[in-house]
């Protein structure tokens, strides 16, 4: 019992001393702070420097370390920004190069078309002045597609003379009378015209189908690059028709699978049921051109 009382007394004494020491320390700090405020500024600064001097090396090292990492992060940020800018510039250069290539291809294509159009105009002009004829009859049965015109042998017309409307091909003279002639149209199943594509220069044969608005283009390889909208002109091969006479436009292209040739449908440039007159190019002029 006595020992227990002594233990409790000693513990209470320790607690009281700890409280006293804490309060004493606080009082001392307050007193020092007030004293520093009360003494002259030069003395106060000297005391501050004296206290801070031992910490100066540590502060210097800390400052250098902070500055080193700050500068490193700044340089890294600048490098990342520069890399992003370089990547954007490379992308812009790539896009500009692609646009330049597209423009060059367009220019080349236009030059090619201009040259082709110039050659076409030259070929047509070299034919000379044709003979004009009125249409006086039609034969548009399922088996024959022909028209009858009002000029014949007396006007110098002969079999196989070429017949056009404007700059487009109508057909050729198949029979001649004294004052009239029959024209077999390019839509007649018996009509075959050596031809070529205006864009690719691929050669084939335009053949009639018996329909008023459809022909087929035969003997075009399945590997040939042909598409809808391509234009067909006469090739002049064989000397029967002048070259570079406009025939029509491609309206359908079918891959023929295992076949050697494509299935191609063509719409003639002319609506034969609506024209009222035609022009006849004499065969002698055509032969003169090819010779």
- Secondary structure (H, E, C), 174-224: EEECCCCEEEEECCCCCCEEEEEECCCCCEEEEEECCCCCCEEEECCECCC
Mean pLDDT taken over the chain: 77
Of 150 and 290, which is predicted with more confidence?
A: 150
Express each pLDDT in 87-126 by its tens digit. Answer: 788 777 767 776 777 677 677 666 666 666 566 566 555 5
Q: What pLDDT is attached to residue 220?
A: 92
Dist. CA 258–CA 262, nearest whole Å = 10
214 pLDDT band (50/70/90 cuts)? very high
Of 223 and 207, which is predicted with more confidence?
A: 207
Of 251 and 75, which is predicted with more confidence?
A: 251
Q: What pLDDT is attached to residue 17?
A: 52
Express each pLDDT in 117-165 by its tens digit. Answer: 566 566 555 555 788 999 999 886 777 899 999 999 999 999 999 999 9
- Residue 43 CA, chain-centre distance (Å), reads 83
59 pLDDT band (50/70/90 cuts)? low
Q: Are 152 and 179 in contact (CB under 8 A)?
A: yes
* 280 beta partners: 131, 163
Of 65 and 245, which is predicted with more confidence?
A: 245
Dist. CA 39–CA 44, nearest whole Å = 7
Query: What is the CA angle 267-163-142, rounded to 5?
Result: 50
2 pLDDT band (50/70/90 cuts)? very low
Of the candidate ranges 75-84, 238-247, 250-259, the one whose mean pLDDT is the lowest: 75-84
Closest CA to 224 of 264, 187, 282, 186: 264
User: 155: which DSSP letter?
Assistant: G
Q: What pLDDT is attached to residue 139?
A: 83
Of the candidate ranges 75-79, 106-110, 227-231, 272-276, the one whose mean pLDDT is the lowest: 106-110
Of 258 and 204, which is predicted with more confidence?
A: 204
Token pair in block for residue 100: 């330049």
Q: What pLDDT is attached to residue 37?
A: 55
Torsion of CA 143, 145, 151, 154, to 10 degrees: -40
Express each pLDDT in 8-53 by its tens digit. Answer: 444 554 555 556 555 666 666 566 555 555 555 555 555 555 554 5
Instruction: Say what the pTM is.
Output: 0.57
250 pLDDT band (50/70/90 cuts)? very high
pLDDT at 85 over 70: yes
Q: What pLDDT is attached to residue 3?
A: 43
Dist. CA 46–CA 39, nearest whole Å = 11
């Amino acid at each position: 019992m006595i020992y227990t009382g002594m233990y409790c007394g000693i513990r209470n004494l320790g607690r009281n001393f700890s409280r006293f020491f804490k309060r004493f320390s606080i009082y001392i700090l307050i007193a020092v702070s007030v004293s520093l405020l009360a003494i002259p500024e030069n003395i106060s600064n000297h005391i501050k420097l004296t206290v801070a001097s031992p910490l100066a090396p540590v502060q210097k090292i800390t400052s250098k370390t902070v500055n080193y990492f700050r500068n490193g992060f700044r340089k890294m940020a600048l490098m990342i920004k520069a890399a992003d800018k370089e990547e954007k510039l490379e992308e812009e250069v790539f896009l500009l190069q692609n646009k330049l290539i597209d423009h060059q291809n367009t220019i080349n294509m236009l030059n090619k078309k201009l040259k082709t159009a110039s050659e076409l105009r030259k070929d047509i002009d070299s034919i000379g002045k044709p003979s004009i004829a009125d249409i006086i009859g039609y034969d548009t049965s399922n088996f024959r597609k022909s028209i009858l015109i009002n000029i014949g042998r007396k006007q110098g017309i002969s079999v196989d003379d070429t017949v056009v409307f404007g700059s487009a091909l109508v057909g050729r003279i198949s029979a001649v009378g004294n004052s009239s002639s029959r024209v077999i149209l390019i839509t007649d199943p018996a009509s075959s015209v050596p031809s070529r594509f205006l864009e690719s220069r691929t050669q084939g044969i335009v053949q009639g189908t018996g329909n008023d608005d459809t022909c087929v283009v035969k003997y075009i390889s399945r590997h040939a690059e042909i598409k809808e909208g391509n234009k067909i002109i006469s090739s002049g091969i064989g000397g029967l028709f002048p070259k570079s006479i406009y025939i029509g436009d491609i309206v359908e292209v079918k891959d023929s699978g295992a076949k050697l040739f494509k299935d191609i449908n063509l719409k003639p440039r002319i609506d034969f049921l609506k024209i009222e007159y035609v022009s006849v190019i004499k065969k002698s002029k055509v032969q003169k051109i090819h010779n």
